[in-house]
A and B are shown apart, each in its own frame.
Chain A
Amino acid sequence: MTQTDVRAVGSGLGRIEGPAKVTGQAKYATEQDDVQDVAYVWPVPATIAKGTIRRIDDAPIRAMAQVLAVLTPDNAPHLQPAEDGELAVLQSRTVSYRGQFVAAVVAQTLEIAREAAERLQVEYDVEPHDVELTQDHPTLYKPDQVNPSFPTDTEQGDVDEALGAAANLVDHTYTTPALHNNPMEPHATLASWDGDELTLYDSNQGAYSAQQTLAKLFGLDPAVVHVVSQHVGGGFGSKGTPRANAVLAVMAARMVRRPVKLALHRHHMFAVVGYRTPTIQRIRLGADAEGRLSAISHDVVEQTSTVMEFAEQTALATRIMYAAPHRRTTHRLARLDIPTPRWMRAPGECPGMYALESAMDELAIECGLDPIELRIRNEPERDPESGKPWSSRSLVECLREGAQLFGWGDRDPRPGTRSDGDWLVGTGVAASTYPAYASPSTATARAAADGRFVVRIAAADIGTGARTALTQIAADALRVSTDFVRVEIGDSAFGQASLAGGSMGTASWGWAVTKACTELREKVERNGEVPVDGIEVQAETSAEIEARSGYKYQGFGAQFAEARVNIDTGEVRVPRLLGMFGVGRIINPRTARSQFIGGMTMGLSMALHEEGVLDLAFGDYVNHDLAEYHIAACADVTDIEAHWLDEHDERVNPMGSKGIGEIGIVGTAAAVANAVHHATAVRIRDLPIRLDKLLGRLPG
C-alpha cells in the first residue's frame, strides 16, 4: 500500500464526475441509451381541485396509432397501502387537488404519449374546494408531531405574563408564500422489468430508500428491485422519497411489457412533487430595557393536503436560537384541497428563521441596540430547550467575524436615510442555523492486490459533490492518495444508507466510509499484503450514531446583505451578500462554497422573487413554469461571498463535520428584509419583497 500522511480532507479536489458532466457523458435517469425498445409515459393531471372521476373515455385514445396503453383507476394494478398517501397513484376515483394524476398514457413516442394524454377526456363530479390558507381557517388542527418527529408545541415558563411585563415588546405576523423546489432535472424514472426483476433508473435523493418504499408498495421482495441513480440533477428535498412518477413508470412498464421512460413536465412539478408550505407566523418577543429576552413566542399556521399530513417544523429553530426563561412554540395545520407540501431545502428552519430573524431586527430597533449586539446578549450557554451543552456553537464568532469582513462597524442604524443616486441603500444581518444530524449507513470497502480500493455506499450525489467528498474521506481513512480510491454510489444494491437530506449525507455516509476504510486498512496492515482476490470489509454505524448523545449538535452562521431600493419604482437589488458559517470541518472548500452560495442564492430568490401564485377559483398554482415563477437570475446575484470559521468539533462525528447543504438558505431572506428596512424604513413582513409592496411607502 502506498501510504500517505497528506490529508485529502480539506483540499479543494475537483468533482470526480465533473468532466463526464460537462461533456455530456454522465447519464441521468432517462438517458440510459443502452436500454432498448423503450416506450414513453405521459401523465394526465386532474383539472378540478376536488371531486370524483365519473368516467374516463379512453377508447378513442387506445385506438390512436402508437398508443400502447392507457392507465386509469379502472385498470391500474392494486398497490399495498403506504404511509405516503401521494404514492397511492390511480388507486381511487377521488380527486384531492388540481394536478393530481388521474390517468397516464403509454405510447411509442414521447410526442404521441403527450398528445394522447392531452386528448383524454375525463368527466368529473365536481365538489366545491377550499384552497386558501388563513390565520383562522376553520379546519385548523394540532398535528401529533411535526416533521419528522418533533413535538408540535413546546412551552416553558409563563410566556403571557412575561410578555405583559416586558419593557420592550415586538408582536408581528410574518407570512411566506408557497415555494417550489424546481430542480433542473425533473423527477424522472426509467423502469424496466426482466421477468420478475425490476430495475429503475431513477432521479432521487436515496436509491436504497426508494427501493424499500417501492418494493413494499408493489408487494415485491426488495431483493428483486434494483434502483440505480448515478447522477441526479438536483432535488432540494423534493426527491427525498419516491413520487408519483416512479409509481406510474413501474405500473406502465409492467402493463406494456417494455421498458418505459417517464420524465415529469415542469407543470406537473408544481403539483405532484411537493413544495414548501405557505406559512403565517406570529412572533412575540419580550425583552428588558437592555435587550435581554424574557419571552419568545412563535405561533405557526400552515397547510397540508387531504391526501396525507405533512406538518412542517417551522418554529423548530426558535426553540434553540436564543436564551429566554419563558418560551412557547406552536404549529397548527389547515387541511386544504391542495397538493401535499413536502420538504424543501431547510424545511422548518428556512421560513421560521425568516420570521424570527426579522422580529429580532425589529426588537433591536425597539431596544435601540445594534442587531448583532442584541443577538450576542441573548446567546444561550446551553440548548435552551433540552438543557444539553452544545457540541460546539459559533454564532457569536460568525456574527463578529462576518461583521468585520462585511464592514458593518461604522453602520448608521437610522433607517431610510442613505441614498446613492436614485437608490436607497441599507444593510441587514440575520443568523443562520441548521442541525447536525446523522443517520445509520452501510459502506463496503475493498482492497485489491494492485493497491487500489473500491468503496461502495448507496449515497446520492444530487449535485453537491458527495462522490468527491466521500473519496477524500475514504482516502484519509485508508491513508492513501485519492488517486487510489474509487467511490461508487447511487445503487440500492450497496445496502442501507442515509438520504441526501437533512444536510446529513456527508456526515452519515462519511461515518460509515471512515469506519469501513479504517477497518480495512487495519486488516490489510495485519495481513501484511492484499491477496489476489482482495480483502473486503463492510461496516454499519447504527451503534455509533445511537451512542451519540449528551450534546446538542448544531451548525450556526451569520448572513449580511446590502439592499438597494429604487426611489421611483421600488425595485429591489441586493448587490452584496456575505455569509460566515461555523459548521465544523470543511471536507472540501470548493464543493462547500458551492453549497453555501447556492443556499444563499436560493434564500435571496425567496426574499425577492419566489411565490407560487394560487388561483382560488381553479385551486392551483398558476405560474407553473420558470418564465412566470421567478427565481433569481445571474444578474440578481452580483457579489456573493461565503466564509467559514475553523471550527473544531470532535464530538459531532469522526470527520468533525456538520452539514452544509441547507444552512446557506436559512436567514438569508431575513438579512435581505432587514437590509430593505434599513434602506427604506419600510418593513416587509410578507415575502417576496416585490416592488409593488414598497411603491408609495418610500421616503422622500
Chain B
Amino acid sequence: MRPFQFVRADDAATAVQTVTANPKAKFLAGGTNLVDLMKLGVERPDLLVDLTRLPFDSVDVEADGTVRIGTNVRNSDLAAHPAVRNGLPLLSQALLAGASGQLRNMATVGGNLLQRTRCVYFQDVTKPCNKRQPGSGCPARQGDHRNLAILGASEACIATHPSDMAVALAALDARVAVSGPDGDRETPLAELHALPGEHPEQETTLRHGELITGIAVPPLAYAERSAYRKVRDRASYAFAVASVAAALDVEDGVVRDVRLAFGAVAPKPWRAHAAEDALRGRPATAASFRAAAEAELAAAEPLRDNAFKVPLITNVVVRTLSDLAGETS
C-alpha cells in the first residue's frame, strides 16, 4: 500500500474544494470498496477525504411523497427505515440482499452507487484491463466472464455494475443530488453511470470533485406492489448473477403500468424500457411477461460462459411479475 493522506471534511463545500484541488484525491465513505481496491493497488489516491461527518444522514418523506435519502445513510439503516420497508419494498429487499450485515452497516448510498466492478482482471494489477489501464486490452472477453455483461457492453469492456441497491433505484426513477465546484445539481440515476463504449475508464457522468449528497425517490403510486429478486450462487454473501427489480400496476387483468430493472447483466443498473413498453396495456399473464422480457433481451450479446443469463433473467421476470400480479388480483 502506498502512503496517503487522510482528512475529515466537516462540510460539503470543503470536501468538494479539497478533492477538486487535487486530481489524486478521493472521497472516502464506508470504505468497503475503496479501501479494498487501495490494498490491491487498483486505486492509488494521494489523499482521502472522509465524508462520514457530513450531515447527509437522514431519510425524509416530503409532502408529495418524495423520499429524500442522505448519502451517509448506511445501507442497513436505509433498509430498515419504515418509509422504505413499507413504501418501497423493492429497495429494502435489494439492500438486504447485498453483501453481509457487517458490510451493510458500513456501506453508504453514494459509495454503493459508485462501487466498482468485480471483474477479476480489473482487480488484478498484474493483468491488462481497459478500464484500469485504457488501451491495455480486455482479457475477460476470452477469459473468466461468467458473471459479466450481456447488455450495454462494448468491445472494450464487458464489466457489470455489481450493486443491488442501484437496480431498485433505477426502477424507481431515482434522482441523484450532486454538489460540485460550480454548485448543486440533480441528475437522473439513469444518467449517473455511463456505458463503456470506447472509454470504459469513464464510468460515470460525475466530474472529479463532484460529491453525491443524496438521492430522491419520486412517489410511485403502486410502489408497495414491488419486489426485488436476486439470484446468486450461494444463499447469502454473494454478488448477484442476475437480479430483477419490479413494480406492477394491474387493473382488470391488464397491465396499467410497470417498472422493471435488471442487475448483474450490464455495466449499469439496467432499466428495461423495452420490456415495460411491451407490457403496458397487455394482459397480466405469464405469456405477456415472457414476451416483454424477450423484447428487452433481444439486444443481448451473450458470450461463451454467460449466455445462461438470458433465460435466467427471463424466468425471473416471469416469476416476479406473476407473483406481483397474483398479489394484486
Q: Tell me which of B118, B232, B242, B316 contacts A628 (CB under 8 A).
A: B118
* Those 5 A-B pairs whose CB atoms lie nearest each other, nearest first: A635-B235, A635-B236, A692-B308, A568-B315, A622-B120
Does A634 make an interface contact (CB < 8 A)?
Answer: yes
Bound Cα distance from A633 to B237, whole angstroms? 7
Does B146 make an interface contact (CB < 8 A)?
Answer: yes
List B contacts of A118 (CB < 8 A): 41, 125
Tell whether, in the assembled complex, residue B236 and residue A568 are in contact, meaning their CB atoms are under 8 Å apart.
no
List B contacts of A627 (CB < 8 A): 118, 239
The distance from the CB of A537 to the nearest CB of chain B, in whole angstroms, is 51
List A contacts of B237 (CB < 8 A): 633, 635
Given contacts A111-B3, A118-B125, A691-B241, contact A617 B139 (CB under 8 A): yes
Number of A-B contacts (CB under 8 A): 87
How many B residues have CB within 8 A of the partner chain?
A: 34
Q: Which of A45, A47, A568, A613 has the most CB of B within 10 A?
A: A568
Tell whether, in the assembled complex, residue A622 and residue B143 are in contact, meaning their CB atoms are under 8 Å apart.
yes
List A contacts of B2 (CB < 8 A): 115
Does A616 make an interface contact (CB < 8 A)?
Answer: yes
List A contacts of B125 (CB < 8 A): 118
**Scoring B residues 204 to 244 as 1 if CB is less than 8 Å from chain A, else 0, what string do you get?**
00000000000000000000000000011111111101100
Tell whether, in the assembled complex, residue A696 and residue B120 are in contact, meaning their CB atoms are under 8 Å apart.
no
Tell whether, in the assembled complex, residue A617 and residue B312 are in contact, meaning their CB atoms are under 8 Å apart.
no
Does A75 make an interface contact (CB < 8 A)?
Answer: no
**Scoring B residues 121 to 150 as 1 if CB is less than 8 Å from chain A, else 0, what string do you get?**
100111100000000000100111010000
Q: Tell me which of A47, A571, A616, A636 contacts B231 (CB under 8 A).
A: A571
Q: Tell me which of A45, A573, A695 contacts B312 (CB under 8 A).
A: A695
A422-B319, A613-B146, A618-B139 provided; 10 other pairs, C-beta below 8 A? A115-B1, A570-B312, A617-B143, A622-B120, A622-B121, A633-B235, A635-B235, A691-B231, A695-B308, A695-B315
Bound Cα distance from A696 to B41, whole angstroms? 40
Does A623 make an interface contact (CB < 8 A)?
Answer: yes
Does B23 make an interface contact (CB < 8 A)?
Answer: no
Judged by DSSP, the binding face of B is loop
Given contacts A630-B238, A633-B236, A633-B237, contact A47 B126 (CB under 8 A): yes
Bound Cα distance from A573 to B121, whole angstroms? 30
Bound Cα distance from A628 to B140, whole angstroms? 15
Residue of chain A at shortest CB distance from B99? A627
Does A690 make an interface contact (CB < 8 A)?
Answer: yes
Residue of chain B at shortest CB distance from A608? B234
Bound Cα distance from A544 to B192, whole angstroms? 74
Tell whether, in the assembled complex, residue A622 and residue B234 are in contact, meaning their CB atoms are under 8 Å apart.
no
Does A609 make an interface contact (CB < 8 A)?
Answer: yes
Bound Cα distance from A540 to B2, whole angstroms? 53
Does B318 make an interface contact (CB < 8 A)?
Answer: yes
Does A92 make an interface contact (CB < 8 A)?
Answer: no
The distance from the CB of B2 to the nearest CB of chain A, in whole angstroms, is 6
Q: Tell me which of B139, B238, B318 contacts A615 (CB under 8 A).
A: B139
The distance from the CB of A586 to the nearest CB of chain B, in whole angstroms, is 31
Q: Tell me which of A111, A617, A624, A633 contacts B238 (CB under 8 A).
A: A633
Tell whether, in the assembled complex, residue B121 and residue A630 are in contact, meaning their CB atoms are under 8 Å apart.
no
Tell whether, in the assembled complex, residue A692 and residue B146 are in contact, meaning their CB atoms are under 8 Å apart.
yes
Bound Cα distance from A573 to B232, whole angstroms? 11
20 CB contacts below 8 A, A to B, read: A118-B41, A568-B318, A569-B242, A570-B312, A571-B232, A608-B233, A608-B234, A615-B144, A616-B143, A617-B142, A623-B120, A624-B124, A628-B120, A633-B234, A634-B236, A636-B234, A690-B233, A691-B241, A695-B315, A696-B311
Does A632 make an interface contact (CB < 8 A)?
Answer: yes
The distance from the CB of B122 to the nearest CB of chain A, in whole angstroms, is 11
The distance from the CB of A32 to the nearest CB of chain B, in whole angstroms, is 24
The distance from the CB of A603 to the nearest CB of chain B, in whole angstroms, is 15
List A contacts of B318 (CB < 8 A): 568
Tell whether, in the assembled complex, residue B121 and residue A695 are in contact, meaning their CB atoms are under 8 Å apart.
no
The distance from the CB of B320 to the nearest CB of chain A, in whole angstroms, is 9
Given contacts A636-B234, A691-B241, contact A568 B144 (CB under 8 A): no
Residue of chain A at shortest CB distance from B1? A111
